[in-house]
Amino acid sequence: MVGLTARLKYYGVWTLTEGACILTGLGYNGVDPSTGRVSWDRLSNIDPWGVELAQNARGYLASWNINTSNWLRNYVYLRVTPRGKKPGFRASLITFGTSALWHGFHPGYYMSFVFASFVQTVAKNYRRYLRPFFLNPATGLPTQSKRFYDILSLFVTQLTFSFATAPFLVLSFSGSLQVWSRMYFYPFFGIAISMVIFNSPVKGLLKQALDQRQAKTGVKMVRSASQDSLASRDPILGLSSDPQRDFSEIMSEMKTEMSKKA
């Protein structure tokens, strides 16, 4: 309840700020071509339901302080990752460390964000190597048993982040340790065991089982470009991955406009 109470003030402030931006026109985000509806979410910074009902670290973090999270992802998380490779623990640790420095110098910030980097890394492994067992390998749709996975994921995610954010509220080192000790450091054990598992042969066995499960369907699942990859077609760090293609598209649009006016 302490965490929820603390989050409510952020929900209120960010929602009021977003409303002010919409009133001034800064929130305008174009028109949806399929529905014709005007979008005003350019400066939306919080998704309360996304936070409170998050089933994994990715969903939780993507719904909280959205614009700052996007900035950190584009300018830190992806930037410290070699092109063509997926971000790992190093990228997560540097990103969360940057966020802690951004907030200030209280020890509680660093305790929360450094621990969150471990949480994100472990959660990513569960999502990559365990979650697919609850999806239909041929269609990618949820199986009947996935509801139980979702409920357990929701429960674990909320408890873990409630623990992780406690030092963010307490700020002092001794006070944060005291709060964590009152909760018996319960997530530390889960994180430690999970990291051992995913750095052992178990990870290879899970991957092998997933590959065999997929092979039985005779359908090859093609992954789209990940948001966590510089190989994505979307511009990263403000730079296009294919400037020549973009230049050609611009010239084509200019010629079309000129021909219409002529």
Instruction: Round to whole Å and give the CA distance between 245 and 72.
Output: 27
**Residue pointed to by tokens 């907030």:** 103
Instruction: Round to whole Å and give the CA distance between 250 and 120.
Output: 39
Cβ of 166: how many Cβ atoms within 10 Å? Answer: 23
User: What's the mean per-residue pLDDT of the chain?
Assistant: 86
Residue 235: pLDDT band with limits 50, 70, 90: very low
What percent of the chain is modeled with pLDDT above 70?
A: 86
Residue scoring higher pLDDT (32 or 230):
32
Residue 12: pLDDT band with limits 50, 70, 90: very high
Question: 261 to each of 175, 240, 249, 253, 258, how far by Cα in Å?
Answer: 69, 30, 19, 13, 5
Task: Respond yes or no: is residue 103 known to be catalytic.
Answer: yes
Q: Which of 58, 103, 128, 131 is catalytic?
A: 103
**The pTM of the whole model exceeds 0.85:** no
Query: What integer pLDDT is reported at residue 84 of this predicted model?
Result: 78
DSSP code at position 135: B
Closest to 80 (Cα-Cα) out of 97, 58, 101: 97
Residue 86: pLDDT band with limits 50, 70, 90: confident
Closest to 211 (Cα-Cα) out of 75, 251, 219, 38: 219
